[in-house]
Amino acid sequence: MEKRILIVLGHPDSESFCGAIASAYETAAKTAGHKVQRIDLGKIRFDPVLHKGYSEIQPLEPDLLDAQEAINKAEHLVFVYPVWWGGPPALMKGFFDRLFLPGFAYKFNSPKSLTWERLLSGRSARLLVTMDTPPWYYRFVYRMPGHNQMKRTILDFCGVKPVSISEFGTLKTSNPAQRSKWLDAVSQLGRKAG
C-alpha cells in the first residue's frame, strides 16, 4: 500500500553516513511506489534558536513553513541522525524547537491545563540512528536518553505513534561490509515504508 513519507536528515552534513542512510531509504521507498519528500536540515535556512521561548511569536522562515506543510501531508515520518552527546544534533533539536509549536504539533486544553491535544496523530515514525557508543551500552548504561527524548517527549507528546527505532553502531569501528549490510537493512525498511 502506497504511503506518503517524509524523510528528515538531521545530520548537518548530507555526505555523512547518515546521508547515505537517508538516500538508501528514499531510493527504496520511491522504487516501491511510495510518495517521498526529503528535508536535509543542513541545506535549509532557519534560525534554530527559539529566542524568547513561547513568550513571543517568532515568525517561521519559508523553509520551516514548507517543512510544516510536508509534515501535514505525511503519513510516515523518518528521522535520520547521529547520537551526539546522548541525543540528536543541536540543529535537529532546533528544528523541533522552532517547528513543533503549540497550535501545530500540540495544543493545551486551556492555559493552565496539564492535558493537551496531540495534533500530529495519525502518523507513524521511524528513527534511523547512528552512534559511536555500542548500542547495548547506550541502552543499559545511559538508558537511551536521546531515544526517550525523540520517542516519548517529542513524537508521542504530539501524537506520532508508533515510533520504531533502528540503531547503527558502533559506527567508528564499522567496516565497509558492515555499513553495506546496514544500508541493505535500511532499503528493506524503505520498501515497506517501515
> What is the per-residue pLDDT for 137?
94
The model's pTM: 0.97
> What is the spatial distance between Cα 116 and Cα 100, in angstroms, rounded to a whole number?
14
CATH topology classification for 4-192:
Rossmann fold (3.40.50)
Q: What would the pLDDT profile of 21-37 be if each residue is shown by its tens digit?
A: 999 999 999 999 999 99
Residues 116, 92, 179, 26: is their CA dihedral positive or negative? positive
User: What are the residue boundaries of the structural domains of the chain, listed by start?
Assistant: 4-192
CB-based burial, 124-156: b 16+ in 10 Å, e otherwise: bbbbbbbbebebeebeeeeebebbebbbeebbb
> What is the per-residue pLDDT for 115?
93
Contact 83, 131 (CB under 8 A): yes
Q: What would the pLDDT profile of 133-160 be if each residue is shown by its tens digit?
A: 999 999 999 999 999 999 999 999 999 9
Q: What would the pLDDT profile of 166-187 be if each residue is shown by its tens digit?
A: 999 999 999 999 999 999 999 9
Helix-then-strand count for the chain, H and E: 6, 7
